[in-house]
Chains A and B, each alone.
Chain A
Amino acid sequence: MPVKVQIPTPLRPHSENLAIVEVQANTVGEALASLCKLHPAMEQRLFDNGQLRRFVNIFINDEDIRYLDNLATPVKDGDDVAIIPAVAGG
Chain B
Amino acid sequence: MSPSFVKGMKCRLCGKLYPVSPVNFCQDDFGPLEIDYDYESLKGVLTKEKIEARQFNMWRYQELLPLDNEPTVGLYVGGTPLIRADRLAKAIGVKNLWVKNDAVNFPTLSFKDRVVAVALSKAKEFGLQTVGCASTGNLANSVAANAATAGLKSFIFIPSDLEKAKVLSTSVYGATVIKVRGTYDEVNRLCTQVAFKFGWGFVNINLRPFYAEGSKSMGYEIAEQLGWRTPQHVVSPMAGGALVGKVSKAFQEFYKIGLLSQEPSTKFYGAQAAGCNPISGAVKNGLESHRPVRKPNTICKSLAIGDPADGFFAAKLIRDSGGWAEDVSDDEIRDGMLLLAQTEGVFAETAGGVTVAVAKKLVQQGRIPINEEIVLCITGNGLKTPDALTERLGEPATIGTSLDEFISVMENTREPVLV
List residues of chain A with CB under 8 Å of any chain B CB. Answer: 8-10, 44-45, 48, 53-57, 59, 62, 64, 66-67, 82, 84-90
Q: How far is the CA of A88 from the CA of B289 in the complex (A)?
A: 16
Shortest Cβ-Cβ A-B pairs, 10 listed? A90-B240, A55-B30, A89-B188, A87-B32, A88-B205, A9-B196, A87-B25, A85-B25, A67-B294, A56-B30
B107 is an interface residue with CB less than 8 A from chain A: no
Query: Which one of A8, A44, A48, A85 has the greatest number of beta carbons of chain B within 10 Å?
Result: A85
B242 is an interface residue with CB less than 8 A from chain A: yes
Q: Is the pair A89, B305 in contact by a Cβ cutoff of 8 Å?
A: yes
Q: List residues of B (269-313) whose CB comes within 8 Å of A's CBs.
A: 289, 292, 294, 305, 307-310, 312
Q: Is the pair A48, B192 in contact by a Cβ cutoff of 8 Å?
A: no
Give how many B residues have a beta carbon under 8 Å from the other chain's beta carbons.
37
Closest chain A CB from B155 CB (angstroms): 15
Q: Which one, A10, A54, A59, A89, contacts B289 given CB within 8 A?
A: A54
| Total A-B pairs, Cβ < 8 A | 87
Closest chain B CB from A29 CB (angstroms): 18
Residues of A within 8 A of B184 (CB): 89
List residues of chain B with CB under 8 Å of any chain A CB. Answer: 13, 23-25, 27-32, 134, 184-186, 188-189, 191-193, 196, 202, 204-205, 208, 239-242, 289, 292, 294, 305, 307-310, 312
Q: Is the pair A64, B185 in contact by a Cβ cutoff of 8 Å?
A: yes
Closest chain A CB from B416 CB (angstroms): 37
Closest chain A CB from B67 CB (angstroms): 21
- Supposing A10-B27, A48-B29 touch, asked if A90 and B289 sit within 8 A by C-beta, the answer is no
Closest to B26 in A: A55
Closest chain B CB from A41 CB (angstroms): 11
Q: Is the pair A85, B192 in contact by a Cβ cutoff of 8 Å?
A: yes
Residues of B within 8 A of A9 (CB): 196
- Supposing A55-B25, A59-B189 touch, asked if A87 and B30 sit within 8 A by C-beta, the answer is yes
Q: Which one, B186, B192, B202, B292, contacts A66 given CB within 8 A?
A: B292
List, sorted by A's number, 22 A–B pairs whose CB atoms are closer than 8 Å.
A8-B192, A10-B23, A54-B30, A55-B30, A55-B32, A62-B186, A62-B189, A64-B292, A64-B307, A85-B25, A88-B24, A88-B191, A88-B192, A88-B204, A89-B184, A89-B204, A89-B308, A89-B309, A90-B241, A90-B242, A90-B308, A90-B310
Residues of A within 8 A of B25 (CB): 10, 55, 85, 87
Q: How far is the CA of A59 from the CA of B307 in the complex (A)?
A: 14
Residues of B within 8 A of A56 (CB): 30
Residues of A within 8 A of B309 (CB): 86-90
Query: Which one of A84, A87, A89 has the greatest number of beta carbons of chain B within 10 Å?
Result: A89
Q: How far is the CA of A67 from the CA of B292 in the complex (A)?
A: 9
Q: How far is the CA of A88 from the CA of B28 in the complex (A)?
A: 17
Closest to A55 in B: B30
Q: Which one, B27, B208, B239, B294, contacts A88 given CB within 8 A?
A: B208
Closest to A82 in B: B193
Q: Is the pair B305, A90 in contact by a Cβ cutoff of 8 Å?
A: yes
